[in-house]
Structure 1
């Protein structure tokens, strides 16, 4: 089939990319409202359902698009399978912590974690990929670290939820960066497939212990099953946006998700941030602004000099 010869930076293609980016990050920003629907179900059980129904949904999509050959190629490579196994552990931990944070009334910390995530990516780039930072970028990273350390220095608990979310998703992204040819859909299929036996075994164990498999009500059952498409669709929209937008442009949309979490936490679920929490947020927001400003200035200088 012929591919239309539309220039990659055409206005129509860019508008499509913006639409998919808004759909992706906007839906991720509303995730706390969805997972709050199953807050009465234990987080581990919610995670098990999310894995199994996500697997079922993506397998249907793989079958519909006739992409089983991609799966066979991935499974036949020991290196790729090993990397995907590690990424599976990271994303499973990330999902579990996020679900537990929502059900436990810690959405503000979830928001903090995803605001912090891009800076964790920068730190991992320096530590693992040996990337170099300019002085102002180092200052931005130091400001974020100071924000996370402030509650500890004040005798409070560290924001463990935020740290776990940012670290697990950052390492997940680093691992998936090692497999640039792996599409989001096929990658998610392998990851959920690897975790499916454990998820199924856990649900069977819960059932033999006398617990209801679907939360004990039709409403909870419907919400648990819906976790499959709710998980998969944003990833497909992200892939569509990434094909149509420059990566730098796409990066501006990533803060929609934690902003949505922050607004839902305060205005819908009534979480009130304490002074230490606000200091941490202020440091992270300042760090993001400083890093973005320095990146923009550097890009502008390079364009001017070229």
Structure 2
């Protein structure tokens, strides 16, 4: 049998980095999960066991901690850019690097009616994400979020759909619309206030979901993507994945009770999975940065 090594890459997955800033009595916290992947000519390590060109994954882990100390964490995106560029510019065998970051949110505890200076409470399921790819084509920055679970109790319908002999679903003129969003957006550049931009994108997604009357979840995804591009000129592409978290009206008729859209049971599976990519006209292509991005919908 004739075989060849078609492709390879390696890295350190899920390094938990918690950075606390103690410069003043009011401390700050950033809580990250950092994964690094290196690409280059490492074929000898696979074919011959020759590690002379391999930067250990343990070294990659250590760099995450050192950079958190020496550079701080301005934002997940900026931290990933610093790491990715260091790998490509200062580690000779490395021709490309991807750094994926998840950030876990903490909110200040309220004690005696005031925010506490050094105590926090973990905030919800939502996770902020960032993915940075550095290679000979430049630097691609992808911001995002996942597990943003939203629900609205009206202003949503689904009717007039295609039917065949297997269709049992009936038209819904007023239904509960719920989903857990995974959203990623590609930036046009690398010199941005990523924290501020993230806040704007998240706010636009939520306000669009709430304000727009939905004829279908597909339409809602288009509206959110379009709204983000309108609101943030630095974003050139938005990718959204939305599982439809179905809520079915509970049948209370056996108990002689009416149920005018008040009591539902939530079904976690099976579920519809709706996805969309919205791109700004004339935006440059991202190459394979999306394909290699962890968690890309």
User: Which structure shows the bigger proportion of residues in helix conformation?
Assistant: 1
TM-score per shorter chain, which class? under 0.3
Normalising by structure 2, what TM-score? 0.22
Of structures 1 and 2, the larger Rg is shown by 2
Higher relative contact order (CA 8 A, sep 6+): 1
User: Which structure shows the bigger proportion of residues in strand conformation?
Assistant: 2
Normalising by structure 1, what TM-score? 0.21
